[in-house]
Amino acid sequence: MYTIETSKHFVKRQDESGAVYYVLATHVAAQQTGFYFVNPSMDDQGRYLWFYCYFPPASYRTLGVVDFTTDEVHHFPETLHLDACPIVDTITGEVYYADERALYKRSPRPELATEKVCDLPKEFFERKARVIIPATHLTFSPDRKQMFLDGRTTKGFIAGALTLATGEFQIWTRPEYCRNHGQFNPVYPDLALMAEEFDTNEDGSYRSIRTDENGVFMRLWTVKANGEETVWAPLNLERATHEWWSADGRKIYYCKYNDKGNNGVCAIDYFSGEHKLVAPVRAWHAFSSMDDSLFVFDENDGFYRGCASRVGLYNTKTGKKVYFNSNNPPMNPPDKQSQYHLDPHPRFNARERYIVFTTVVNDKPQLAVAKTADILPMTE
């Protein structure tokens, strides 16, 4: 099997920190980026690496894959999907995605056809509704038999569990406000994480995330299969963004910020309520290792779509961090923001052997991969 080091499709780059990473040099699309940070883009064995394909100025995107078993790169034009929904089955290497009608499964092998898994739930089409987003990012239940959908239709919001074999849908909640970023807990099947999000009213006016009478910024929510909902206050009554579950299912992780910007990764123990800062980095997005000792993250000095950024690794055992993509230049000026969601979104993949992220080369977003074993010693 090939690797990022032996594949003919990757170019080695050295960061100013001395760190090394690899950029996919073969293009099957005008722009190629990594997945949104919540979802894996590789299987556990590292055989397949999936990525987003953009074709400006089109607003849609499709999927491509690097096949390390054959050292080939493929684009699948039929994989047009909505939002950041694609997720890789880390056992098989297949990718799941959805559009406004159905859920699909695509093999990395080009000789095989894309399969329709099931139609979207009939509840998404009640009262002649049209689907705007079927799911922010699909996630599997612990037994891999269901996926969590946080749909948005022209009639409102609906979230719950979709059974893959039958298409049966169990409604968990119908939020009144925009709530998305739904994520099945990786261990406890009756529990999901969600986020209240900025939105617009019917008249086009801006609707911010609510703050309750106690000053709690109401971003972080959990919901149970029985409909029980809980809102979680960010640390120090600041604000929260970009959340995910720990691998053991016990902790809610999120990036904290205030008026001065991002200021740390925090953890809430769902069962004990313990709440603390775990990584004092200016994380915009972040993701944890399976043992919670490492956090890969990105930063910016002033957000807009296409802004300059950095990507780093923080080691909780040593308290040290290193930037391995120290100077990601802006892709767009502030007065002409990108129409695409091109943040670095770093994430551990292939059982933490790799860190997949989006970088910028020659003013274009590019798919990049670093070996965790190359970066980790720089934090020790």
CATH of domain 10-278: 2.130.10.10
pLDDT one digit per residue (tens) for the chain, 380 residues:
999 999 999 999 999 999 999 999 999 999 999 999 999 999 999 999 999 999 999 999 999 999 999 999 999 999 999 999 999 999 999 999 999 999 999 999 999 999 999 999 999 999 999 999 999 999 999 999 999 999 999 999 999 999 999 999 999 999 999 999 999 999 999 999 999 999 988 788 889 999 999 999 999 999 999 999 999 999 999 999 999 999 999 999 999 999 999 999 999 999 999 999 999 999 999 999 999 999 999 999 999 999 999 999 999 999 999 999 999 999 889 999 999 999 999 999 999 999 999 999 888 999 999 999 999 999 99
DSSP 68-87: TTTTEEEEEEEEEESTT--E
> How far apart are the C-alpha atoms of 134 and 121, rounded to whole Å?
10
pLDDT at 201: 82
Q: Which residue has the tokens 């055992």?
A: 317
> How far apart are the C-alpha atoms of 233 and 36, rounded to whole Å?
24
> How far apart are the C-alpha atoms of 24 and 27, rounded to whole Å?
8
DSSP 161-219: EEETTT--EEEEE--SS-EEEEEE-SS-TTEEEEEE--EE-TTS-EEPPPB-TT--BTT
pTM, to two decimals: 0.97
pLDDT at 218: 98
What single-letter DSSP state applies at residue 316? T
pLDDT at 362: 84
